[in-house]
Amino acid sequence: MAIKEVKGKAKKAAPKARAGGASKDEQIGFHKGALSTLAKEREEMLKILSIVEQLMQMHVAALKELGIDLEKVAKQAAAQAKKGKSAPLEKQLR
């Protein structure tokens, strides 16, 4: 009977200990911390994306001022892609 009582007590203690020996509260803290960090990283990534988008728009505007029609270049690139011939973008812009 003593063995059965020990096994029963071990089962009650088992839910506190999870894989790797971390308790449920530790795991919850770990996942909350990870989500907090990832949310901050996402915010920073969105800031970077916004800056990149602004820079791209500036370059598009500069090319338009220089007489480059980017829509025409894009249509030509799409037509060449259908034909199987694709010139590098650098050559298309020249």
- Hey, what amino acid is at 28? I
Q: What is the reported pTM? A: 0.53
Q: What is the pLDDT of residues 39-72, one digit of tens each?
A: 999 999 999 999 999 999 999 999 999 999 999 8
pLDDT recorded at residue 81:
81
How many CA atoms lie less than 13 Å away from 7 in the CB half-sphere?
4
Query: Kindly report the CA angle at 24 between 26 and 35, in degrees rounded to 5?
Result: 55
Give the residue among 50, 92, 59 at the shortest CA–CA distance from 74: 92
Distance, in Å, from the CA atom of 27 to the CA atom of 33, rounded to the nearest integer, reads 10
